[in-house]
Amino acid sequence: MNAVTTKIVPAAQQVTSGEKGLSYRGYYKHDLVKPDYELTSTMHGTPMGEYMRRFWQPVCLSEELKDLPKAIRILGEDLVAYRDRSGNIGVLHRYCAHRGASLEYGIIGENGIRCCYHGWAYGNDGRLLEAPCEPDDSRLKKTVCQGAYPAFERDGLVFAYMGPSEMQPPFPEFSTFTYPKDNRLVPFSNIYPCNWLQVYENIMDHMHTAVLHNRMVVSGTDDDVAKNLSLEGFGDMPVMQWEVTRDGNGIVFIAGRRLPEDKVWIRITEMIFPNFLQIGSLFCTGGRERHGTTGMTRWNVPVDDEHMIIFGYRHFNSEVDPDGLGCEEDCGVDKIDFLDGQVGDRTYEEGQRAPGDWEAIVSQGKIASHGAENPGFSDTGVYKLRKQLRDILAGKVKPYQLYDRLLTEGKSLPIYTQDTVLNIPELPTALDRKQILDLGKKVLAAMQAGDEVDADEREEFIRREMDKIDGGCQPLRPAAE
Ligand code: FES
Ligand SMILES: [Fe+2]
């Protein structure tokens, strides 16, 4: 009987080179799939977790705090949030310091919360106020406390500071929160069952808008088209560049698109590390805006290493959405008013037929594997972002001085996010591409020139800077028309 012998060769020795070696490689690719824990893990004590804990983070919406405590999980910590009967916010460790019953079953009091099990009552700062089962001379109140974090509400979001007390920073007030004067901040959350970083990175991956979202225009239903932001311009592949900002503490993409009638649309989106960003107009037609401001603020908050929540504000005002296409009622807990596929509220089949950001990002895995990627030019922003985060964690980047000074002086912070349409004659293809890159740099420089200008005068100043770029051509149509 002839025995067939199979020699077992380790995978590493079976790698061949050349074009032939690129066929049927399924078996050999498994070793590449490893989470990049340095950037993705935000648990207590990890480098990224400690960095995140130096900033105020949104932890829930105000509307989620009713008459019962709310169990929340942020940065891998089980917490409970509540509004006490005096109207103040408490964010405490969830499990009672006595013997661990969850405070989500607690009783909200006048000034704090009381555990359901043996009645220990805690103030919002975590001090033990009462222990009714203990003798009067018990010293427990002098020695025990519940873990607690400073917290407050602002325009419908609840913020907490989860870092060391002595390093608590002021809350960053961005000038776009109150500009233009009719701006209304409407809170929302979008829940993603995956790591925070792949959701954050999606913003620097701007070229996907011309593919992922444009596909919905091509193959979706009329309803998809109506809700899609790719009505005009977004479907075109942009001329892209990325710049590190804020002395290494931020990054922008600058997307330039040639439009009909000798117009060029420059869109800039800025992220400020570790997890903040603002996005420009969500309903930009790419045709008539002279200069526009923020449509959305987002914090990408880790729940734990495999879950995250985008908390943020939609900005409603006559400048960023002059046609009133946004809908305040469609913004709230796990919902947003633009573009299907921002949350996991659709059937599997609907997601397959018209995938959105949620389907694309969640399908990258619980923690997207960086080692298995094959990056190209379009990923430049994603890779620059990761490098900056690594440099920050390694201590190579100092905190942004201007922001520290503005916050200390009680001033609001500027951001470079914007959309501007310039009137610039078209050149032959290669020259036009270079011209658009140069225009993008000039628009960013105009925004940066406004850094030190008082918030009340900044927008006018920036508009004058934009006028210098194309010779002060009149807007084709005033933004508020
Ligand atoms: S476990 Fe909370 S009071 Fe006993
Ligand atoms: Fe997207």
Length of the chain: 481
Q: Which ligand is nearest to the CA of 341?
A: 2
Tally of helices (H runs) and strands (E runs) in the chain:
12, 20
Q: What is the CB < 6 Å shell around ligand 1?
A: 96, 98-101, 115, 117-120
Q: Which of 124-133, 352-361, 400-409 has the weakest average pLDDT?
A: 400-409
CA of 133 from ligand 2 middle (Å) equals 55
- Cα–ligand 1 centroid distance for 143 (angstroms): 15
pLDDT for position 319: 87
pLDDT given for residue 410 in this prediction: 85
Statement to judge: residues 107 and 223 lie in one domain: no
Cis amide linkage into residue 180, ω under 30° from 0: yes
User: Two tokens at 178?
Assistant: 């109150």
- The pLDDT of 263-269, averaged and rounded, is 94
Give the distance (Å) from ligand 2 centre to CA of residue 356. Answer: 7
| Ligand 1 site-directed mutation target among 80, 94, 95, 96, most atoms within 8 Å of CB | 96
The C-alpha atoms of residue 327 and residue 13 are separated, in whole angstroms, by 58
- Which residue lies with its CA nearest to atom 1 of ligand 1? 99
Q: Are 248 and 435 in contact (CB under 8 A)?
A: no
pLDDT at 253 over 70: yes
- Spell out the residues 6+ positions from residue 277 whose beta carbon is closer than 8 angstroms to its own: 200, 203, 269, 270, 271, 297, 298, 300, 417
**Distance between Cα 327 and ligand 2 center (Å):** 19
In a domain, 157, yes or no: yes
Range of the domain at 265: 175-470
Alpha-carbon Rg for the chain in angstroms? 25
φ/ψ region of 341 (left if φ > 0, alpha if ψ in -120 to 50, else beta) reads left
- Has residue 37 been placed in a domain? no
Ligand 1, closest atom to CA 120? Answer: 3
Residues with CB under 5 A from ligand 2 (ion): 357
| Interatomic CA distance for residues 242 and 254, integer angstroms | 6
Residue 235 pLDDT > 90? no
> Of 114, 147, 166, which residue sits at a domain end?
166
Pick from 80, 98, 113, 128 the residue to mutate for probing ligand 1's pocket: most ligand atoms within 8 Å of its CB. 98
Residue 18 has pLDDT above 90, yes or no: no
Q: What percent of the chain has pLDDT over 90?
A: 73
Asked whether residue 348 is domain-assigned, the answer is yes
Please check whether residue 340 lies inside any domain of the structure.
yes
CA 258 – CA 216 distance, rounded (Å):
22
Q: Which of the four pLDDT bands, split at 50, 70 and 90, describes residue 246?
A: very high
**If you average pLDDT over residues 240-253, what whole number do you get?**
97
- Say if residues 150 and 128 touch (Cβ distance below 8 Å): no
CA distance 236 to 210: 6
SS3 436: helix
Q: For residues 224-237, give the mean pLDDT.
A: 58
Q: Residues 343, 191: contact at Cβ < 8 Å?
A: yes
Nearest protein CA to atom 4 of ligand 1, as residue? 118
| b/e map 129-163, b = 16+ CB within 10 Å | eebeebeeeeeeeeebbbebbbbebbebbbbbbbb
127 and 268 inside one domain: no
* Banded model confidence at residue 130, pLDDT cuts 50, 70, 90: very high
Q: Can you give the CATH number for the domain in which 75 is found?
A: 2.102.10.10
Q: Which DSSP state fits 280? A: -
Q: 463 by DSSP, 3-state: which?
A: helix
User: Quick check: 235 and 208 in contact, CB under 8 A?
Assistant: no
Domain match, 139 and 189 both: no
Q: Write down the pLDDT at residue 3.
A: 46
39, 389 contact by CB (below 8 A):
yes
Q: Relative to the alpha carbon of 96, which ligand is closest?
A: 1
Region 240-258: mean pLDDT is: 96
Q: Is residue 479 scored above 90 in pLDDT?
A: no
Is 198 in the same domain as 161? no
Report the alpha-carbon distance of residue 406 to residue 122 in Å, rounded.
36
Residue 18 or residue 459, greater confidence:
459
**What number does the ligand 1 atom closest to the CA of 99 have?**
1
Q: Note whether 185 and 327 are same-domain residues.
A: yes
Query: Which of the residue ranges 167-171, 235-239, 469-473 has the most confident prediction, judged by mean pLDDT?
Result: 167-171
Site to probe by mutation for ligand 1, drawn from 92, 93, 94, 99 as the one with most ligand atoms within 8 Å of Cβ, is 99
> Of the candidates 140, 166, 192, which is a domain's last residue?
166
141/223 same-domain check: no
pLDDT the model gives residue 229: 42
Has residue 451 got a pLDDT over 70? yes
Domain-terminating residue out of 112, 147, 166? 166
Give tens-digit pLDDT for 83-117: 999 999 999 999 999 999 999 999 999 999 999 99
CA 211–ligand 2 middle distance (angstroms): 9
Q: Considering the domain boundaries, does residue 242 fall inside one? A: yes
Which range scores top for mean pLDDT: 178-182, 307-311, 368-372? 307-311
From residue 128, alpha-carbon distances to 96, 137, 246, 250 in Å are 11, 14, 42, 41
Domain contains 26: no
Which token pair is 152? 């407050």
Question: What CA–CA distance (Å, rounded) separates 476 from 460?
Answer: 18
Tell me the backbone φ, ψ of residue 417, rounded to 5 degrees.
-60, 130
Separation of CA 55 and ligand 2 centre (Å): 26
Ligand nearest to the CA of 101: 1
- What are the start-end ranges of the H helices in 130-269? 140-143, 196-201, 212-219, 222-227
> Are both 236 and 365 inside the same structural domain?
yes
For residue 77, the CA-to-ligand 1 centroid distance in Å is: 19
Closest-lying ligand 1 atom to the alpha carbon of residue 131: 3
Clarify whether residues 161 and 204 are in a common domain: no
Q: Is 417 helix (H, G, I), strand (E, B) or coil?
A: coil
Quick check: 190 pLDDT over 70? Answer: yes
User: Do the beta carbons of residue 275 and residue 268 sit within 8 Å?
Assistant: no
Average pLDDT, the chain: 89
Is 145 in the same domain as 73?
A: yes
Which of residues 314 and 217 earns the better pLDDT score? 314
Residue 228 has pLDDT above 80, yes or no: no
Residue 84, pLDDT score: 98
Number of domains in the chain: 2
CA of 304 to the centre of ligand 1 (A): 26
| One domain, residues 235 and 295 | yes
Whether residue 263 is contained in a domain is answered as yes
pLDDT in tens, 35-73: 899 999 999 999 999 999 999 999 999 999 999 999 999
220 is a domain residue: yes
Closest alpha carbon to 245 in 445, 40, 462: 445
Whether residues 403 and 255 share a domain: the answer is yes
- Find all residues with CB under 8 Å of 436, minimum gap 6, and list them: 239, 256, 257, 258, 264, 266
pLDDT digits (tens, 9 = 90+) for 305-334: 999 999 999 999 988 888 888 999 999 999
Query: Both 466 and 338 in a single domain?
Result: yes
Centroid of ligand 1 to alpha carbon of 114 (angstroms): 9
